[in-house]
Structure 1
């Protein structure tokens, strides 16, 4: 029997490698003879740089930059060489991720992507030809304006006075911007971005309304942020002619996608397309008996390009059953049945504190995987005994 384990990480808790290891332990606890293929996945968020650098045998370049709440932090980017090109890999989660925002400071009106711009400048100083950026697990919603300022973009209010963007709320003051002084070295390199292709910047399904609450925004703050990003989009259009409001990926990482489109000429890609260039899972999935996947929270957003739904999409082309292990089950989780996930379960079996859940996550992931296989075994026995003639999922 062959089981393929293809999880993402549990945000702010475990990276994909840790989740995969726990699931593998659960399978081996059920039956040590099972052939397991373990493929930890990245989605542009936490672990993006280190996973790719490990695959490409590159190096990590450490850099002190501005964190999401405006304080200096230790961050990094990756570097490797391939086909004569010098390539930098940047992970926005490592400089402006939600994990870096203290719980008592989680207000996306006041967090910044300035450090992302500083990492881009640091990569340019390193003499690179290409930049690969992973967008995911962000703790910011400033539309990438902080990053833009670090690259040389200037913002002005109605009186043509400079505006310093320290968070999303400052975009309400922006009446115009000047992009002429953006770091000229950006013209000589290419930038590819792995992002959630379905996230857009503005409107009813804009990033402020969909993801703002996850980053600590109250309903009133969501309204403020939504208006601020609309104001920002107008200024971008007036300066560059580009309407970023509803472009695919423009809302990625709190609108960082929009800033990258407007000021760096980056090309945004569905994150799974980029990742599949580095990690080939299709062959292994097509020969599996069961596929296990995982995510920190399974809800209505999961089918929109997140790893469990993409894994399920691939599995369904070969009619392979998919089981998802999740930290929490959120609103609209049942939509994942339509996305190809045949069954899912939460590792949390009783009311617990978030702190306790995070501490016990590895053990509970293992137990949940073991329990899921015991349930599968019941189905096999019932089928063998003729009780279940055919199972249709």
Structure 2
């Protein structure tokens, strides 16, 4: 059995785009689907897809299109499967040949959020603005996701949009759950189950973790909180570095040994998101943290 790991943050990630390119009405998960297709061609029978850090809000239509599905409007025109197409979907059709190819494949969606597809806690309202959507576009995307869910749920024979995680990665979770029968798993739980991670923990004196923003949501099943819990069990101090830290008192009460913000105060978010700048900021923060621990 061969397992492939596909990272949405790289195949359709927000940090892969310049600020002026970020528009969830137009971005697509098609590249993530192409990556999975390549993994299948290489012999993968299990595909683990990391849901997080996406630039998209297409409901996973791009992903599904790359794997043979056709989404059409009420005039029979095939849609590209972008965020702007959500409200236009009338029905969808699978590719029978691809369906046979996928029959023996196990899909696992690694996810750290339980967001539904639409609504105030859904993909558009919670995440689309940070992906470049205006207030009007957020409303339009949410309306589109609700309509898309009606079509998707009718096709699947069950309601998809209210399933936990269906709103992950701009709705890619919904396509994975409905069309590819994916198992939704906690990303940190999958990591903790690996032999290499257990071996690393046995040798560790310190755990260093982090995420884009440390805030009250960090405790809700995210990687940093999972590592913090594991550190507690083993008596290993856990330090965290993040792009920014919000509600610092609440974050510190979670039990981290120390918490550092990588981005200098006042640095524009667009600048901090640049890979070269982020790398420099993180290296500086980690060096400062380790230096303080030696004192």
Q: Same fold (TM over 0.5)?
A: yes
In structure 2, distance between residues paired with 1:263 and 1:92: 17
Does 1:233 pair with 2:149? yes
In structure 1, distance between residues paired with 2:10 and 2:263: 28
Find the residue that maps to 1:183 and give its secondary structure.
helix
Contact kept, 8 Å, 2:117 with 2:171, in 1: the verdict is yes
Gaps of 5+ in 2: none
Shift of the 352–128 alpha-carbon distance from structure 1 to 2, 3 Å rule, reads closer
Instruction: Report the count of equivalent residues.
Output: 289
The CA deviation at 1:313 is 1.6
Contact kept, 8 Å, 1:108 with 1:215, in 2: the verdict is yes
Shift of the 360–129 alpha-carbon distance from structure 1 to 2, 3 Å rule, reads closer
In structure 2, distance between residues paired with 1:213 and 1:163: 28
Does 1:100 pair with 2:16? yes
TM-score, normalization: structure 2? Answer: 0.85
Superimposed CA distance per residue, residues 186-244 of structure 1 (whole angstroms, 9 cap, x where no aligned partner): 11221222122423322211111111122111221111111111111111111111212
Larger relative contact order (C-alpha < 8 A, sep ≥ 6)? 1
Superimposed CA distance per residue, residues 41-76 of structure 1 (whole angstroms, 9 cap, x where no aligned partner): xxxxxxxxxxxxxxxxxxxxxxxxxxxxxxxxxxxx
Does 1:269 pair with 2:269? no
2:288 alignment partner in structure 1: 368
Contact kept, 8 Å, 2:112 with 2:223, in 1: the verdict is no
Contact kept, 8 Å, 1:163 with 1:173, in 2: the verdict is no
1:36 alignment partner in structure 2: none
Shift of the 199–283 alpha-carbon distance from structure 1 to 2, 3 Å rule, reads farther
Superimposed CA distance per residue, residues 80-122 of structure 1 (whole angstroms, 9 cap, x where no aligned partner): xxxxx23333222232111222221101111011122222222
Contact kept, 8 Å, 1:163 with 1:174, in 2: the verdict is no
Contact kept, 8 Å, 1:309 with 1:336, in 2: the verdict is no
1:177 pairs, out of 92, 102, 105, with 92
Does 1:161 pair with 2:81? no
In structure 1, distance between residues paired with 2:202 and 2:2: 35
In structure 2, distance between residues paired with 1:279 and 1:296: 26
2:139 pairs, out of 223, 244, 260, with 223
Find the residue that maps to 1:311 and give its secondary structure.
helix
Q: Which aligned pairs between 1:43-58 and structure 2 lie closer than 5 A?
A: none
1:5 alignment partner in structure 2: none
Superimposed CA distance per residue, residues 261-299 of structure 1 (whole angstroms, 9 cap, x where no aligned partner): 111122121111222232555676588665433233212
Find the residue that maps to 2:86 and give its secondary structure.
helix
The CA deviation at 1:161 is 2.0
Which one has a larger percent helix, Structure 1 or Structure 2? Answer: 2
1:329 pairs, out of 232, 238, 245, with 245
Shift of the 196–348 alpha-carbon distance from structure 1 to 2, 3 Å rule, reads closer
In structure 2, distance between residues paired with 1:363 and 1:131: 32
Does 1:111 pair with 2:9? no
Gaps of 5+ in 1: 1-84, 378-393
Contact kept, 8 Å, 1:87 with 1:131, in 2: the verdict is yes
Does 1:134 pair with 2:50? yes
Aligned residues: CA RMSD: 2.7
Q: Which aligned pairs between 1:196-345 and structure 2 lie closer than 5 A?
A: 196-278=112-194, 281=197, 291-318=207-234, 320-330=236-246, 332-345=247-260
In structure 2, distance between residues paired with 1:188 and 1:316: 40
Superimposed CA distance per residue, residues 345-366 of structure 1 (whole angstroms, 9 cap, x where no aligned partner): 2234543452695363254223
Find the residue that maps to 1:208 and give its secondary structure.
helix
Shift of the 318–274 alpha-carbon distance from structure 1 to 2, 3 Å rule, reads closer
1:150 pairs, out of 59, 63, 66, with 66
In structure 2, distance between residues paired with 1:123 and 1:306: 27
The CA deviation at 1:333 is 4.6
Shift of the 365–263 alpha-carbon distance from structure 1 to 2, 3 Å rule, reads same
